[in-house]
Amino acid sequence: MRVKRGTTRKRKHDKVLKSTKGYRMSKHTLYRVAHESYMHAGNYAYRHRQRRAGDFRKIWIAKINAACKNNGIKYNDFINKLKTKNIQLDRKVLADIAQNNPAVFTSVIKSL
């Protein structure tokens, strides 16, 4: 007995064509071209989600560095002192404190 793939294939094609809605030229109408662009789009999305994490880290470091300069300490000295004192604040939290509560950030620097 053979397997006929009529409805299964139709569902699969419809899913891909629905997700490529809005793509240019034949990438939203022809299944073969649409599937290729759909797969590439997924790869790009995954890669750029990873890259976005690095971008945020760069922004956090820039904010902390600016706040450190205002308090007369270098960024790398500040991070080194945090590690030696075993203060476990990550860069995301430090950047938020530096931007929204400069007085608290200054007290963190004084405690080192």
Q: What is the value of pTM for the model shown?
A: 0.68
Q: What is the CATH number of the domain that holds 78?
A: 1.10.1900.20
Q: Does residue 27 form part of some domain? A: yes
Least confident of 11-15, 59-63, 88-92: 88-92
As for how many domains the chain has, the answer is: 1
Helices (H) and strands (E) in the chain, counts: 5, 0
Q: Does residue 82 form part of some domain? A: yes
pLDDT at residue 93, rounded to an integer:
94
100, pLDDT greater than 90:
yes
The band of 5, judged by pLDDT with boundaries at 50, 70 and 90, is: confident
Percent of the chain with pLDDT over 70: 100
pLDDT at residue 66, rounded to an integer:
95
- DSSP for 35-78 reads HHHHHHHHHHHHHHHHHHHHHHHHHHHHHHHHHHHHTT--HHHH
Q: Does residue 1 form part of some domain? A: no
